Amino acid sequence: MFSVHLRRIIGLLLWVVVLSTPFLFLENVFAQSSGGNADISISVRTPVPQFSLSGVSNQLQVRWNWDFISLGYFPPPITEMRIELSDDFLNYYNPSQFSPTPIPPVPSSAVSDFLATYTVVPGTYTAQITVVDGNDFDYVVGPIIITVLPSGGGGGERPSHFNTDLTVNGLAYPSPSTVVIFNYNSVFQANIVPDSLGNFNLHTTSLPEGSASLSFSAQDPDGVLSVPLMIPYSLLANNPATLNGINLPPTISLDQSVVVIEETVLVRGYGYKSGNVSLSVDGPTSRAYLVQASASGAWQVSINTTDIGLGTYDVVAVSSSQDEVITSPSSEQLVLQVTSTLPAAPTCGDGTIASPEQCDDGNTVSGDGCSATCQNERELPQSHIDQPSPSVLSVSDIDLSFTASTPQGSITSVLVYYSRNGAPYVQYPGTFSGSTAQLTGLTDGDYEVYSIARDSTGAEELPPTFADATFHIDAVVELNVLAYPEKRSPRQGNWAMPASLTLYQPGTRTALQQYDISTDNQGRADIPAAGLTQQNYTFLLKGNSYLSKRLESPLFRGVDLLVDFSFGGTFFLLGGDVRPDDYINGLDLSAAVIRLYSAFADADLNHDGFVNGMDLSIVVANLFKSGDGV
């Protein structure tokens, strides 16, 4: 009880100090645009005002004027003009806003007008223009479809895809490791060798326009692949994009996964050059090990099983850069079993295949395809799933064509294994024969598949190194929310957050729909949206203990809509709203102080499991800031 009162007193004192201390917070928001010349001209006539849109040298010009002769009277002055643009990914933004000096009355023979100029990247846009006059009457024109061509465009139609430009920068392990990159929608693959520091980069113009995901894995010199890292992206033709900070997890392997107590287990892998590797062993007891990787990125840890005891343990590694600025996502989670005695070795010839047996035909006679030690004596069956076309499907059922052959006997069955959104592979229920495998009831996501063939002699194909085919299922109309809370620990793959998403009528405070959601560790949440009316919406996301962020007027067209809150102003959601009123002040700081060293999720802003000084520093850094919903 005394401890609780003491923490409350400390919180109150800190609040008084905070409110009596001047704070200065500077925030710089940079916007950059690039591209060639633009050449467009569209005019729209309304019953009263007239608008004209044109583009020259990357400048989108919006002209508004009153024709007094046609109007027959002097209109009230103009107080505000807004233009909203939507790119191909349906992300609306307001490139600029200005309030011109009210236009004084002019002779009836004149035409009063003014001009606003915006710098835009060449592309296709949907524009909506709003003018407010002195009587607070809104004149709205749009939506208008506008195509801004780059220099030398010649007026032809813009290709529908492959006019993109993407640069990827990241960190893996020093060469001769390899970074393997997959794109599921266009079946794109690249193998990149990092430099001597482990840095890698990719520049490609071979990806289509749209929103999808890239899967990044690092293959170390021992041939071990890291767990895939899924990174979403959006591309617009003639609009260069960059993905930075793609920091890959370390590889990890055990020299044995089942050991007798008192034996030593060697855990090894590759991480960032000369950086620290933290190894966690969690089970009936928990143990952490810290080692430094070599200049090649190699690391290893010897675990004396006497130190951890009997039981089953999860083993995970995290790598940090030599300067400790970068912390990787977690490695693959391996399972270590420490027993009092080893399980009985498999019996060759009992008809049951058990590791390390490759086959077991019920005898110990060599020369029949399965040796006396239960190892294959011949080539194994082979199979391969054909790449489906198209690779983006709007249905939940898919027929996959495959081929299968065997040098001995005949193919008896084919098994299909799949991975969704980078998860571990699982077998699809049932087996298949012939040349087609029908997969039904698939949910939306990115899929990798491969096949395993069995023949009449009992031989079974070994799993392949890479997937046979990839495809994307998009059968359910969804709002695909993307949001990143700030200053999480670890920094990547740790963006899970409960939140509320509210849809408003644009330009009003009229709430049309609200969803309670939870984003995953990649910062994503998919919301079924089949019942939504096709119109423009203003989206407001309020994360638990985070300031709200608004996304202005995306157009929902009855298909999947990416609602990306990493655009505009700050990339991350700002934390510290512990008392959720969408404004961070001394009350939030005192509430966080009272929760110090507890596991209260509302004050654990860096998401490391408990409330500590890092969480307080986040609150202090954002003091007196408010959300977009205020």
Contact status, residue 523 vs residue 483, Cβ threshold 8 Å: yes
Q: What is the percent of the chain where pLDDT is above 70?
A: 71
- pLDDT reported for residue 113: 53
Structure tokens at 571: 């990339």
Task: Identify the CA nearest to 484 among candidates 600, 608, 580, 574.
Answer: 574
Task: Work out the burial of residue 7: count CB atoms within 10 Å of its CB; fewer than 13 is exposed, 13-18 middle, 19 or more buried.
Answer: middle
User: Which of 421, 441, 473 is the endpoint of a domain?
Assistant: 473
Which positions ≥6 away from 268 have C-beta within 8 Å?
A: 252, 253, 255, 298, 299, 300, 301
Range of the domain at 226: 166-247
Q: How far apart are the two ends of the chain, measured CA to CA in Å?
A: 37
pTM: 0.37
The three-state secondary structure class of 404 is strand
Contact status, residue 192 vs residue 175, Cβ threshold 8 Å: no
278 and 211 within one domain: no
Q: What is the mean pLDDT of residues 79-83?
A: 62
Task: Give the pLDDT confidence of 126-154 residue by residue, as tens digits.
Answer: 666 666 655 555 556 655 655 555 444 33
Q: Residue 239 falls within a domain, yes or no?
A: yes
Number of C-alpha atoms within 13 angstroms, CB side, residue 260?
Answer: 5
- Indicate the pLDDT class of residue 26, thresholds 50, 70 and 90: very low
Total of domains in the chain: 5
User: Which of 339, 364, 395 is the endpoint of a domain?
Assistant: 339
Which positions ≥6 away from 337 have C-beta within 8 Å?
A: 257, 258, 259, 311, 312, 313
Q: Residue 487 falls within a domain, yes or no?
A: yes
199 and 140 within one domain: no
207 and 79 within one domain: no
Q: Residue 181 falls within a domain, yes or no?
A: yes
CA dist 426 and 447 (Å) reads 12
- Indicate the pLDDT class of residue 366, thresholds 50, 70 and 90: confident
CATH code for position 490: 2.60.40.4130
Task: Identify the CA nearest to 8 among candidates 409, 626, 603, 589.
Answer: 589
DSSP state of 464: P
- Indicate the pLDDT class of residue 97, thresholds 50, 70 and 90: very low
332 and 206 within one domain: no
458 and 323 within one domain: no
CATH code for position 285: 2.60.40.10
112 and 62 within one domain: yes
298 backbone dihedrals φ, ψ, rounded to 5°: -70, 145
- pLDDT reported for residue 198: 93
Which positions ≥6 away from 105 have C-beta within 8 Å?
A: 74
User: Which of 473, 488, 518 is the endpoint of a domain?
Assistant: 473
Residue that wins the pLDDT comparison between 24 and 86: 86
- Indicate the pLDDT class of residue 403, thresholds 50, 70 and 90: very high
Q: Residue 512 falls within a domain, yes or no?
A: yes
CA dist 625 and 630 (Å) reads 10
CA dist 53 and 62 (Å) reads 5
Q: Residue 21 falls within a domain, yes or no?
A: no
Q: Give Cα 68 distance to the centre of its chain.
A: 53
Task: Give the pLDDT confidence of 159-170 residue by residue, as tens digits.
Answer: 333 468 889 999
129 and 56 within one domain: yes
Contact status, residue 613 vs residue 621, Cβ threshold 8 Å: no
Task: Identify the CA nearest to 383 among candidates 465, 461, 466, 470.
Answer: 461
Least confident among 23-27, 411-415, 547-551? 23-27
- pLDDT reported for residue 45: 30
Dihedral sign, CA of 426, 432, 438, 441? negative
Task: Give the pLDDT confidence of 247-264 residue by residue, as tens digits.
Answer: 999 999 999 988 888 889
452 and 491 within one domain: no
Dihedral sign, CA of 15, 542, 87, 512? negative
- pLDDT reported for residue 624: 92
210 and 257 within one domain: no
136 and 44 within one domain: yes
Task: Give the pLDDT confidence of 215-225 residue by residue, as tens digits.
Answer: 888 889 888 88
Average pLDDT, the chain: 76
Q: Residue 546 falls within a domain, yes or no?
A: yes
Task: Give the pLDDT confidence of 208-250 residue by residue, as tens digits.
Answer: 776 677 888 888 988 888 988 878 777 777 888 888 889 999 9
444 and 566 within one domain: no
- pLDDT reported for residue 42: 31
- pLDDT reported for residue 572: 85
Q: Residue 365 falls within a domain, yes or no?
A: no
- pLDDT reported for residue 116: 62
Q: Residue 576 falls within a domain, yes or no?
A: yes
Task: Give the pLDDT confidence of 500-534 residue by residue, as tens digits.
Answer: 999 999 888 889 999 999 998 878 898 988 788 88
Residue that wins the pLDDT comparison between 346 and 277: 277
The angle at the Cα of 619, spanning 614 to 620, to the nearest 5 degrees, equals 95
Q: What is the mean pLDDT of residues 343-363?
A: 81
E strand or H helix at 367, and its extent?
none
The three-state secondary structure class of 15 is helix
Highest mean pLDDT among 68-77, 309-318, 459-468: 309-318
187 backbone dihedrals φ, ψ, rounded to 5°: 55, 45
Contact status, residue 551 vs residue 539, Cβ threshold 8 Å: yes
Residue that wins the pLDDT comparison between 115 and 38: 115
Residue that wins the pLDDT comparison between 510 and 474: 510
Task: Give the pLDDT confidence of 84-93 residue by residue, as tens digits.
Answer: 665 533 344 4
Residue 28 pLDDT > 50: no
386 and 491 within one domain: no
The string of DSSP letters for 92-154 reads: EE---EE-PPPPPP--TTSEEEEEEEEE--SEEEEEEEEEEETT--EEEEEEEEEEEPPTT-T
